[in-house]
Structure 1
Amino acid sequence: MAKIIGFAGYSGSGKTTLIEQLIPLLVARGLRVSVIKHAHHRFDIDVPGKDSWRHREAGATEVLVSSSHRWVLMHELRHEVEPDLDQLLAKLTDPDIVIVEGFKTHPIKKIEVWRESTGHPRIAPTDPFVVAIASDQNTTDNLIQLDINQPQAIVDFILEMT
């Protein structure tokens, strides 16, 4: 079973940048890393006018595109309920560790990414699943403090904790 760690924080806190730094460090340790990112808006990874886009626009629920370099499965919800995190995790192919960005309210262990300069409040006071804070300054709570500028130390913490 894969280890799962979430990263939560408001926009502009540095979640994506931090995750981008952590992935190659985890891969260098021989781990298969998968990422699930929640988007709060409509997004599209397809190019308008291309065959796969045209198939989806015509009404296909799923379009799978494959090449010798990658494959992607696009699934249109077409008025279905958005899948929850557990359903999305079940779709992954045998990762050693899954990094979850977003899904703030899901009950998984999370590292809060926080910078006072963003002006946003902390998440940890209302989320009992936050196990540490990654920040550019120390906070006064009892959470484990991780320096956001020390990704190797954050990887060590993740691997020890999960």
Structure 2
Amino acid sequence: MRLAIAFTGPSNSGKTTLIEKIAKKLIDKYKIVIVKNDPKDKAKFDIEGKDSYKFFQTGAEVVITSPTRTTYFSHRKKNIENIINMVDDFDIMLVEGLKTLPLPRIAIFRNTIDESYFDYIKAVAIDESIDKSKIPQNIEILDLNDIDSIIDWIFKNAKRV
């Protein structure tokens, strides 16, 4: 089983928190991989002065390996197929962002709804701050605070990859 599902929503809507809760709940039974989009290229992963930073500054692809982890730094943009092939050994892939990626998608809304997401999503995860009547009928409504029901939805709707 290799399933992939995507999460989208406005900044500070709770995407990362939801993905974190799902991953923590599933990690004992499944191999989980999380892919995060950084559309503004603002994430920092290494510390200036360290060898890995110096290597990455050369423009090369860099792999850092240790007894407990492997880290890959790339200058090349990867599409989802490249990433799937690269990580290969997983049961469930949770993708944050990449709105137009052809994966089943849950949008997370709190306080306000952004209708521009409606064309890209199959479900919304919302809390009591959202008026359910504003959600189109073709989009399933999930309780943002009910992780088990969201996980059930994932297993029923995720794409086999």
**TM-score clears 0.5:** yes
Output the CA distance in 1 between the equivalents of 2:40 and 2:48: 18
Contact 1:64 1:71 in 2 (8 A): yes
Aligned pair in 2 of structure 1 residues 153, 48: CA closer, same or farther (>3 Å)? same
Report the alpha carbon displacement of residue 76 of structure 1 after superposing the two structures with TM. Answer: 1.9
Report the alpha carbon displacement of residue 44 of structure 1 after superposing the two structures with TM. Answer: 2.6
**What per-residue deviation string (whole Å, max 9, x for no partner) do you get for residues 42-80 of structure 1?**
2331111001111222x1411111111111111123xxx
Instruction: Select which of 154, 157, 161 maps to 1:158.
Output: 154
Normalising by the residue count of structure 2, what TM-score does the alignment of the two structures yield? 0.86
Contact 1:9 1:113 in 2 (8 A): yes
Contact 1:9 1:123 in 2 (8 A): no
**What per-residue deviation string (whole Å, max 9, x for no partner) do you get for residues 103-146 of structure 1?**
0011110011112x2x451344322xx11110014523212111
Identity %: 29
The equivalent of 2:63 in structure 1 is 64
Aligned pair in 2 of structure 1 residues 124, 98: CA closer, same or farther (>3 Å)? same
List aligned pairs for 1:109-148, cutoff 5 A.
109-115=104-110, 117=111, 119=112, 121-127=114-120, 130-137=121-128, 139-140=132-133, 141-142=136-137, 143-148=139-144
Where does structure 1 lack aligned partners over 5 or more consecutive residues? none
Output the CA distance in 1 between the equivalents of 2:70 and 2:118: 40
What do you get for the CA RMSD once the two structures are aligned? 1.7
The equivalent of 1:38 in structure 2 is 37
Contact 1:25 1:155 in 2 (8 A): no
Contact 2:9 2:117 in 1 (8 A): no
For the pair 1:54 / 2:54, whether they are aligned, the reply is yes
Contact 1:6 1:109 in 2 (8 A): yes
